[in-house]
């Protein structure tokens, strides 16, 4: 496929959705497992790893720094080099489209003795990086980014960083994780205080690998210390499951079981929000003793109603909000979203992308700086743009399942960054989505 060839989705109305499906591995946890395994001492075995473009970017970055990583069909083996075993890369480290890995690893790379340059694709190169630059400089790192506070990031090798106490100015698990990894190498203690709960996969993974970390309700504190290799099982990604939770909720007669889904309490707000909208969702716990809680989720069709999404749930559901707003388009009445400014600086401006798409399909939407109001109605067919954003592409593909006619979604190749099997799994339960190549 040439670089000027685009992949579009043609998503058509479906009937009821039925069946039982396994959700692919959690992207956030997969990133962290690769990171921790690479800097631990010993051999880390990972099962259930998501093999998406973003995870490949993280794996390749560590390979470029001398880490031996072996892959088979169902397992990844990482020969950890310890905290101080990474080697200087021959070239700039390319993070592709992965905002998670570039921000988290900004903290790790700021502690190394070698220089590094961090780059990404056009989309990633537009995303804000100052949020990690400023606190890392406060810790003693020598690094800079573009005048627009975007990639590339240039890091000067540093012998040591100093621990700090840092109050997160935004609810960002990526920023928190960046500073925790920097604190893993720093002199003294690094304390992170956050006003809003954000996903805690990094803290859980650090504990599992034996880090010197103390997690309190008021703060998280970490000190330097080696990590020890582990066997890791990655649960299914609730952000991926969310698309099918919404699809079953809006298609009459649907009855789905989503198996082996991670329901970390800092990630499961999508279930609470949909339930408040009237969704019929049951959670059956199958493992609550490992790093992460895992459950089977049973969802059946139910009429939805609009709500004001509780502000405290917004940071926990930040990745699921695009498809939640699709549910809102089918709900009776208004659904109001506030306190979601972070959506403006994702792979696209997701507030604008959702609003423009829904309006073009006949739904009334009012936007504001930090959110939107969606009035439920009947979706027409039409054409929308994903703006190269995987979650926007999948959200509108789901919207078509109960729309009046086919919806064409432009530029969907980046779905591979988080959910490469989206089309195949969707088809297995009765969704009607196909791809179409287009020359640019």
Q: Where are the domains of the chain?
A: 5-25+235-439, 27-233
pLDDT at position 218 over 70: yes
- pLDDT average, residue stretch 207-213: 98
Stretch 205-231: mean pLDDT: 97
Mean pLDDT check: name the lowest of 17-26, 48-57, 153-162.
153-162
The answer to whether residue 288 is catalytic is: no
Tokens of 183: 């604190």
> Which of helix, strand or coil describes residue 279?
coil
In this prediction, residues 82-105 reach a mean pLDDT of 97
pLDDT at 73: 86
Q: State mean pLDDT over 30-49.
A: 98
Distance CA 156, CA 368 (A): 40
CA 144 to centroid of chain Cα atoms: 25
pTM score, whole prediction: 0.95
- 62, burial (CB in 10 Å: exposed 0-12, middle 13-18, buried 19+): buried
322 membership: H or E segment, kind and range = helix 321-330
Report the DSSP beta bridge partners of residue 281.
Answer: 299
Q: Return the bridge partners of 112, or none.
A: none
| pLDDT of residue 3 exceeding 70 | no
**Beta bridge partner(s), residue 44:** 78
Instruction: Report yes or no: 6 and 411 within 8 Å, Cβ to Cβ.
Output: yes
Whether 1 has a pLDDT exceeding 60, the answer reads no
Taking each helix axis from N to C end, the angle separating 390-399 and 238-250, rounded to the nearest 10 degrees, works out to 20
pLDDT tens digits for 239-256?
999 999 999 999 999 999
Query: Does the fold of domain 27-233 match that of domain 5-25+235-439?
Result: yes
Task: Over range 16-31, report the average pLDDT.
Answer: 97
* Mean pLDDT estimate for the chain: 96
pLDDT at 216 over 50: yes
Residue among 8, 121, 237, 319 flagged as catalytic:
319
Would you state the CATH architecture of domain 5-25+235-439?
Alpha-beta prism (3.65)
Tell me what the mean pLDDT of segment 146-161 comes to: 94
Question: Of 215, 260, 254, which is closest to residue 233 (Cα–Cα)?
Answer: 260
* pLDDT band with cut points at 50, 70 and 90 for residue 288: confident
pLDDT in tens, 373-424: 999 999 999 999 999 999 999 999 999 999 999 999 999 999 999 999 999 9
The CATH class that applies to domain 27-233 reads alpha beta
Q: Any idea which residue has 């599992």 for tokens?
A: 208
pLDDT in tens, 325-355: 999 999 999 999 999 999 999 999 999 999 9
As separate numbers, helices (DSSP H) first and strands (DSSP E) second, the chain gives 12, 23
What is the Cα 227 distance to its own chain's centre? 25
159 pLDDT higher than 80: no
Q: What is the pLDDT of residue 2?
A: 47
Q: Partners of 21 in the beta sheet?
A: 258
Asked if 307 and 276 touch (Cβ cutoff 8 Å), the reply is: yes
Give mean pLDDT, residues 106-133.
96
Which residues contact residue 290 at a Cβ distance below 8 angstroms, ignoring those fewer than 6 apart? 233
Give residue 99's pLDDT.
Answer: 95
């Amino acid at each position: 496929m040439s670089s000027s060839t685009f992949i579009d989705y043609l998503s058509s109305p479906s009937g009821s959705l039925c069946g039982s499906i396994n959700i692919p591995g959690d992207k956030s946890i997969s990133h962290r497992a690769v990171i921790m395994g690479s800097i631990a001492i010993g051999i880390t075995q990972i099962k259930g790893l998501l093999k998406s473009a973003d995870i490949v970017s993280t794996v390749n970055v560590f390979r470029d720094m001398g880490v031996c990583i072996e892959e088979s069909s169902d397992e990844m083996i990482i020969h950890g080099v310890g905290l101080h075993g990474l080697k200087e890369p021959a070239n700039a480290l390319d993070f592709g489209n992965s905002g998670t890995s570039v921000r988290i690893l900004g903290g790790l790379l700021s502690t190394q003795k070698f220089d590094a340059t961090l780059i990404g694709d056009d989309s990633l190169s537009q995303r804000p990086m100052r949020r990690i630059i400023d606190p890392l400089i406060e810790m003693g790192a020598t690094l800079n980014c573009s005048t627009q506070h975007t990639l590339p990031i240039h890091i000067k090798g540093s012998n040591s960083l100093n621990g700090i106490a840092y109050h997160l100015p935004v609810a960002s698990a990526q920023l928190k994780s960046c500073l925790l990894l920097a604190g893993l190498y720093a002199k003294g203690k690094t304390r992170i205080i956050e006003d809003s709960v954000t996903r805690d996969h990094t803290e859980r993974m650090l504990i599992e690998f034996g880090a010197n970390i103390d997690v309190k309700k008021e703060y998280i504190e970490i000190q330097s210390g080696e990590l020890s290799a582990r066997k890791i099982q990655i649960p299914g990604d609730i952000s991926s499951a969310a698309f099918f939770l919404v699809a079953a909720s809006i298609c009459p007669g649907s009855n789905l079981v989503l198996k082996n889904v991670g329901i970390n309490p800092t990630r499961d707000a999508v279930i609470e929000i949909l339930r408040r909208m009237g969704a019929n969702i049951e959670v059956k716990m199958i493992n609550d003793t490992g790093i992460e809680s895992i459950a089977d989720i049973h969802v059946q069709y139910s009429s939805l109603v609009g709500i004001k999404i509780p502000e405290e749930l917004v940071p926990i559901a930040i990745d699921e909000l695009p498809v939640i707003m699709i549910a809102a388009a089918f709900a009776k009445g208004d659904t109001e979203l506030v306190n979601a400014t972070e959506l403006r600086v994702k792979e696209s401006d997701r507030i604008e992308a959702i609003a423009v798409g829904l309006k073009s399909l006949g739904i009334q939407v009012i936007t504001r700086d930090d959110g939107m109001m969606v009035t439920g109605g009947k979706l027409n067919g039409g054409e929308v743009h994903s703006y190269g954003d995987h979650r926007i592409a999948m959200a509108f593909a789901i919207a078509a399942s109960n729309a009046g006619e086919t919806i064409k979604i432009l530029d969907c190749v980046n779905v591979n960054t988080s959910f490469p099997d989206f089309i195949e799994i969707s088809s297995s339960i009765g969704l009607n989505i196909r791809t179409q190549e287009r020359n640019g």
